[in-house]
């Protein structure tokens, strides 16, 4: 862990550069390798085709990001990492925010080891 998941409406295709966004988020997480093991970092973007925003009368768009991490990090670290990632997201969509209706959001999800199953040999590279 961590896993970074982005869901975005398909009307953002022209505004989102998925590889660039994910790369920037990975840079933030990798720079904290003493907090997040590099071999556990994963990201993905999911384009949404079926959605509704607000009253449905405009071409509204949204992006929602989720950062999933295991428990055990301090509140300060969690806040600092989330703020850094959300700044990247806001910067990525600065132009789009000025030309269309757009909602950006992000949440942090912590989970315990109980109920989590993993096998990973990528860690051995790092």
Could you give the residue numbers annotated as active site? Answer: 2
In the block, tokens 């556990």 appear at 40
The Cα 101–Cα 12 span in angstroms is 11
What DSSP string runs through 39-92?
GG-EEEEEEESS---TTSSS--EEEEEEEEEES---HHHHHHHHHHHHHHHHHH
SS3 label, residue 27: helix
């Amino acid at each position: 862990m961590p896993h970074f998941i982005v869901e975005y409406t398909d009307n953002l295709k022209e505004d989102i550069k998925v590889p660039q966004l994910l790369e920037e988020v990975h840079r933030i997480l990798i720079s904290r390798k003493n907090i997040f093991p590099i071999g556990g970092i994963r990201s993905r973007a999911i384009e949404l085709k079926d959605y509704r925003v607000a009253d449905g009368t405009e071409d509204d768009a949204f992006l929602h990001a989720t950062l999933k991490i295991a428990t055990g990090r301090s509140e300060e670290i969690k806040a600092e990492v989330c703020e850094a990632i959300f700044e990247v997201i806001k910067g990525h969509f600065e132009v789009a925010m000025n030309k269309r209706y757009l909602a950006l959001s992000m949440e942090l999800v912590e989970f315990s080891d109980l109920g989590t199953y993993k096998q990973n040999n990528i860690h051995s590279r790092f």
